[in-house]
Structure 1
C-alpha cells in the first residue's frame, strides 16, 4: 500500500502547488504517508513472499489461508530417514513437525514486500514415539554384565552396549530448519545405550581371593554331633553376599528339628552338658565368627557360650540358639563375599572370599578373673550304696577381654575391643549311690 500512498502524496503536492497552498497548509491536510499503518492493510504489497509462496496482492485472510494450505502440503511430503544404512519413509507431520503459524505470520508482517522464512514447531513426544516404533527392529537393547562362580573363581560375562537413535540430537539439527529448507534425506544420529551393570562396575565388585579362613577340629566318633555339624555347614556353603547384605546364621540354617535333618547331641543348658537336638551347630557358628573376624568384617550380632568350649579359644566363640540367639555378619566391603565350608577328617574349615586389601588381623586377650568350680553331689538310686560315678568334669570359668588388632597394608595398626565375656565354671558333678 506504501506505493499507493506515495502516488497520492505526490498528486497532493502537485495540486497544492497548482492551487497555491503553502507548506504549512500541506501539513494541515495531514496527507503524509505515515498516516497508513499495517493494521489497516487490506492486502499484502507486491514482493511479499513466504519462502517459495507468493503472497503479494493477497488480502490478509486469503494470505493466511494460502499459508496454511501451503504448509499442509509441505508437511505431507516424504522424508527419508537413514539409520544403520536403512531408509525409513516418513512425513514431517508424522514426526511431530508442524508450522508455528503465529510466529510465521509475524515474520510475514515484519517483512512486507520481502521474503520471509517459515518457523517450525516440534512435538518431541510424538517424534520419540514414532521413531521408537519405526526403529524397533533396528535398535539394540543393552545387555548387562553377568557373573558366575566356577571352581571358587569369579567369572564375568562382559556387558554389551545397546544403540538407538538420538532423538534430541536429531530434532536439534532441525531447530533452525524451515519448511523449504527441511532436508529430504536425513541421517539419524545414533547414541550408545550403556548397560545398567557394566563390565567395569562388575569387575569392581568381584572377589579375588580368600580374605578370612579358620579351622576347628571335632570328634568323628560322636556320630550325631558330626552329622549336625556337617548338615549346618552344607546349608551355609556357597552363600553369596552383595555389598550391604547381612548374613543371619539362623535364617540360613533354619530351625533345628529332626524334620530339617538334625539329630540329638550334647548341648549346654544351665551350665551343664545334656542331650539336645542340634548339638554341634555352635561349632559351625564359632568357626564362621573367627573367619569373619580375620576377614575384618562387621559383626552385627554375636553371643558367647555360657561356659568354656573346648574347640575354640576363649573369647572367640559364638553360640546360637534358634530363633533368639543369632550370629549376624554384614558385608560392608565394596565387593561380593562368598562363603565356602569344608568338612573332612575331623576338621571343619570355613573360607570367606572377597576383595583382598592387604590387611592382617590378630587377637589380644586379657583374663580379668578366674572363677573356680564347685563339686555337686547327686543321689542316684540306680547306683549301689556308696558307689561314686563322675558324671561331668569340673572346669574353671573366666571373665575375658578380647581385642582385634588390624594392620593395614601401610603397616598402621588399629585396636578394637571385641568383647568382654563371662564364662561360668562347669561344676564337677558326682553321682552317688544311696545308703
Structure 2
C-alpha cells in the first residue's frame, strides 16, 4: 500500500512538472516576438509591444520631437539659433528597440518565465546621433563674428619732443572647444520640452603693448654721440640706413634687442654700399662698411643705463670713433649686438643723424634717472707694433709701400660706476678686452 502511494505521488509530481513545463513553454513562447515586462526605453514602458509598435511609440515621442528642438547660443552682442535639423540629428530608435526586444531572450526557459511573471524594471537609454562636422561649421561661423585681434598701442615722438601714444584695443576670442563641449552636453542629455540656452565663453585677448605701459615712457635716460663726418659717401649711406632702421624701436619689459634682426641683412638691394670694414686684422672694402659705428654708438648709449649686454664682441682693431674697449662689432649671420630690457618700463630708442654725427637717445621712465652712470676704461700692457720688411725686386730702391697697417696691442678693462644722489653705490666690470698687436708689413724696393 505504501509503495502504491509513493508511486502515485511520483506520477503526480511528474505530471505536474510536465504540465508546468508545457504551460511555461507556451507562455514564454508567446513573448518571443514581444518586449518583456518591465522593459522601458527612456521612461516609456514597452511591456508586450511588438517591434513595430515600439518603434512607432518611440518615434512619435522622441524622434519627431527632436527635430523641433533648438539650442540658443548667447553672446554679449548676438544670439545664434542651432536648429537640430541643421545637425542632421536623430535618435537610434531602431537599434534601441532591437535592444529592448532582445533583452532577456538569451536566458533559459525558466529564467524567461521568471522574468515574465516577476518582472524587474530595465531602463534602456536612447543614444543620439548628429553630424559633428555640422557643429564645427556652426562654431566656425560664430567665431568669425566674435573673434577680434588685439591691437597694440603705438608710440611715436613728434618734433616738439613729445610722445604721442595711441590707444590699445582688447581682442576677443571665442572659446571654441568649451562651447563645443557645452553644445554636445546639451545634445547628449536628450530632448526636454524646453529649448536649451548656452552662454558662449569669450575670453579677452590683451594686447602685448598697452597704452598705459607706453605712457610711462616720459624721459630721456641716456644718450651718446659719435662723429662720422670724415666718412666716404658709401660709409655715410650705410650709417644712415642702419640708424634709420633702429630709430623708433620699442622694447617692452623682457624684450631682447638684436642689432642684426632690427637692421636686417646688409645687401646692395636694400641700398647698402661698399665701404671700409675690418676683416680679421685688415681694413678692407665690404657691403655695409661703417655700421659697426652705429652698433658701437648704441652700445655706449646703453652703457649709461643699468642694462647689461646679452651679446657683444669687440673688433680686432681698435676704432678711432669710440673709446678703447667700448666698441661693439656686428656681422650679419655671425656677430650680433644684443641686450635685454630688464626694466619694468618700456624702452624707446631714438636714432638721429645731424651734421655728421650719430645720436642715440634712450627713453624710458623718469624714475630711472635717480641713478647716474660713469663709464671708465683702463688701458694696460700697451705693445707697439713692429715693422716687417719685404724686399721687392720689382720696386726701385728708395720706394716703399705699406702692405698692412700696424696697430698697437693692449688690454682694456671697462667699468661702470653707479651713483645715487651723488654717492657711489656700485662698481661693475662691463668687459675686459684684449687687442693683439698687429705688426706693420712694408715692401721696400731693391731694383737699381
TM-score by length of 2: 0.61
Cα distance change, pair 138–372 in 1 and its aligned pair in 2 (3 A): closer
Q: CA deviation at 1:314?
A: 1.9
In structure 2, the residue matched to 1:189 is 198
- Distance in 2, matches of 1:335 and 1:95, equals 55
**Structure 1 residue 217: deviation in Å?**
2.7
Q: Give, in whole Å, the separation in 1 of the partners of 2:272 and 2:413.
A: 36
Rounded Cα–Cα distance in structure 2 between residues aligned with 1:223 and 1:129: 66
Query: How many angstroms does 1:343 deviate by?
Result: 1.3
1:119 aligns with 2:125: yes
Q: What is aligned with 2:206?
A: 199
Local SS of the residue matching 2:201: strand
Q: Which piece of structure 1 moves more, 343-352 or 292-301?
A: 292-301
Q: 1:94 aligned to 2:101?
A: no
What's the C-alpha RMSD, in Å, of the aligned pairs?
A: 5.7
Does residue 1:217 correspond to 2:217, yes or no? Answer: no
- Partners of 2:180 and 2:270 in 1: how far apart? 61
Match of 1:75 among 51, 54, 63: 63
CA–CA separation in structure 1 for the residues paired with 2:261 and 2:9: 114
What is the DSSP-based 3-state SS (H/G/I as helix, E as strand, rest coil) of the residue aligned with 1:157? coil
Structure 1 unmatched ranges of 5 or more: 1-18, 379-385, 387-392
Shift of 1:256: 6.8
The 5-angstrom pairing of residues 180-329 of structure 1 reads 182-194=191-203, 198-199=205-206, 202-203=209-210, 209=217, 213-218=222-227, 220=229, 224=233, 226-239=236-249, 247-249=258-260, 252=263, 254-255=265-266, 260-262=271-273, 280-293=290-303, 294=305, 296-307=307-318, 309-320=319-330, 326-329=335-338
State the Cα deviation string for residues 147-191 of structure 1 (Å, max 9, x = none).
Answer: 2534154752221344779342344345554xxxx2244123132
What do residues 35-83 of structure 1 show as CA deviations (whole Å, max 9, x unaligned)? 959976434577876568664444xxxx234333443443133323142
1:359-389 deviation digits (Å, cap 9, x = unpaired): 98765644331224679999xxxxxxx9xxx
1:302 to partner: Cα distance: 1.7
Provide closer, same or farther for how the CA distance between residues 47 and 400 of structure 1 changes in structure 2, counting only shifts above 3 A.
Answer: closer
Residues 206 and 89 (structure 1), Cα distance of their counterparts in 2 relative to 1, 3 Å cut? same
> For the Cα contact (< 8 Å) 1:216–1:347, is it kept in 2?
yes
Say if 1:295 and 1:352, in contact at 8 Å, map to a contact too.
no
Counterpart of 1:7? none
Aligned counterparts of 1:418 and 1:27: Cα–Cα separation in 2: 112
Equivalent pairs, count? 385
Q: Distance in 2 between matches of 1:344 and 1:295?
A: 27
Once residues 91 and 350 of structure 1 are traced to their aligned partners in structure 2, the CA distance between those partners, rounded to angstroms, is: 66
**TM superposition shift of 1:287:** 1.1
Moved more, 20-29 or 280-289: 20-29
Partners of 1:262 and 1:46 lie apart in 2 by 95
Measured after TM superposition, the shift of residue 348 of structure 1 is 1.7
Closer, same or farther in 2 for the Cα pair 1:337/1:30, shift >3 Å?
A: farther
Equivalent residue for 1:368? 380
Distance in 2, Cα, partners of 1:364 & 1:32: 118
- Summarize deviations over 1:220-277 as a string: whole Å, max 9, x none: 465635444323312443456786766243983544769834365x666887888887
Contact kept in structure 1, 2:348 and 2:364, CA below 8 Å: yes
Matching residue within 154, 169, 191 for 2:182: 169
